Amino acid sequence: MSTEILRTFTDPELSQVIAREAGAMLLDLRESYGVVEPGDKERANQLRKEGDRLAHELIAAALAEHRPNDALLSEEGKDDVSRLTAERVWIVDPLDGTWEYGQFREDFAVHVALWHSASQSLSACTVDLPAQGLTRSMLDEVSGPGALPVDRPIRVVASRSRAPKSLPAAMEILSASLARSGVTDRGVEIVDVGSVGAKVNVILSGGAEAYVHDTGFSEWDVAAPFGVARHYGYEASHVDGRAMTFNHMPPYVPDLVVSHPLIAEALRESLAQAANS
């Protein structure tokens, strides 16, 4: 790809290009390892570490060349406190879903987002899902969320290892609430997926209606999927409904809820009721 062409790209275009290039590199790297036996933890971990490192180096080098005056916050990079006073900060997870990547699964992603300190807003958000051949970004033309499903339960995505403790109770409350209000009598079920980006993509693809996490994660896990979800017309915020901001020290996000707007209020109320019971 020509440097001159890259220099003409807007921020969203650059975000998309470098996320896709990192994703393609990760696929090539994984293929180069050949068959990794399920019990070969050492080789799988070697693949994960190399993927993390190389994807970070690719993205960091591209941003340094094409946006040299911007700051960078990356999971795999050394945190530079000068980002706290920077106007433009790229928030990057070079390989989100590292465990899934080493398991040769499809639910890993590359996250690239741009935070603007003055406006307290995100732009140029991209979630690339290389093994699925899919990229979600703020460049996508969207018409908003579709209708809620009528042939299956409402689905809420959660972490397989760190789901909210009160989530089962909250889903019972939500199921009853949605039935009373005439939204659906099909109930609610919990599903698990890997990367945060992959979780949000399940929602955008119509396979689920919400995602809930309350045990904390880092800003690079959240920024790009958060921005893409909002671009697609879904509600995204802290679990209690507060607006989310980024570029903090430490770069920590305590919780997140992404939801179809038609169930967002009922979901937040159910989560609060379950947590307080």
DSSP string, 230-255: HHTT-EEE-TTSPPP----SS-EE--
What confidence tens digit (pLDDT) does each residue in 95-119 have? 999 999 999 999 999 999 999 999 9
What sign has the CA pseudo-torsion 87, 239, 262, 158? positive
What confidence tens digit (pLDDT) does each residue in 152-180 have? 999 999 987 777 788 999 999 999 999 99
Number of folded domains that form the chain: 2
Q: In whole angstroms, how far apart are CA 154 and each of 3, 66, 259?
A: 46, 43, 11
Task: Let me know how many helices (H) and strands (E) the chain has, helices first.
Answer: 8, 12
* Shared-domain flag, residues 25 and 100: yes
Q: How many CA atoms lie within 13 A of 38 on its CB side?
A: 1
d(CA 44, CA 61): 26
Calculate Rg over the CA atoms of the chain.
Answer: 19
What confidence tens digit (pLDDT) does each residue in 182-206 have? 999 999 999 988 889 999 999 999 9
Closest alpha carbon to 240 in 209, 277, 208, 274: 274
Q: What is the pLDDT of residue 38?
A: 84
Sheet holding 109-116, edge to edge: 71-74, 88-96, 109-116, 121-129, 134-137
* Shared-domain flag, residues 184 and 90: no
Contact 229, 222 (CB under 8 A): no
Q: What is the average pLDDT across 18-32?
A: 97
At residue 129 the predicted structure's pLDDT band, cuts being 50, 70 and 90, is very high
* Token pair of 140 as six digits: 């996508």
* Shared-domain flag, residues 94 and 158: no
Q: What is the pLDDT of residue 277?
A: 83
Q: Which residues contact 245 (CB under 8 A, 6 or more apart)?
A: 120
Domain termination residue (choose one: 77, 110, 137): 137
* Shared-domain flag, residues 178 and 228: yes
Is residue 143 in a domain? no
Q: What is the pLDDT of residue 195?
A: 87
* Shared-domain flag, residues 45 and 87: yes
Residue 31 belongs to a domain with what CATH number?
A: 3.30.540.10
Q: What is the average pLDDT across 36-46?
A: 91
Is residue 142 in a domain? no
Domain termination residue (choose one: 82, 109, 137): 137
Is residue 256 in a domain? yes
Computed over every residue of the chain, the mean pLDDT equals 94
* Shared-domain flag, residues 166 and 267: yes
Query: Which residue range is the domain that position 196 belongs to?
Result: 154-276
The 3-state DSSP class for residue 87 equals coil
Is residue 147 in a domain? no
d(CA 164, CA 158): 8
pLDDT at 5 over 80: no
Is residue 159 in a domain? yes
User: Is the entire prediction scored with pTM above 0.85?
Assistant: yes
At residue 4 the predicted structure's pLDDT band, cuts being 50, 70 and 90, is very low
d(CA 122, CA 245): 9
* Shared-domain flag, residues 106 and 180: no
At residue 7 the predicted structure's pLDDT band, cuts being 50, 70 and 90, is low
* Shared-domain flag, residues 130 and 169: no
Q: What is the pLDDT of residue 193?
A: 85
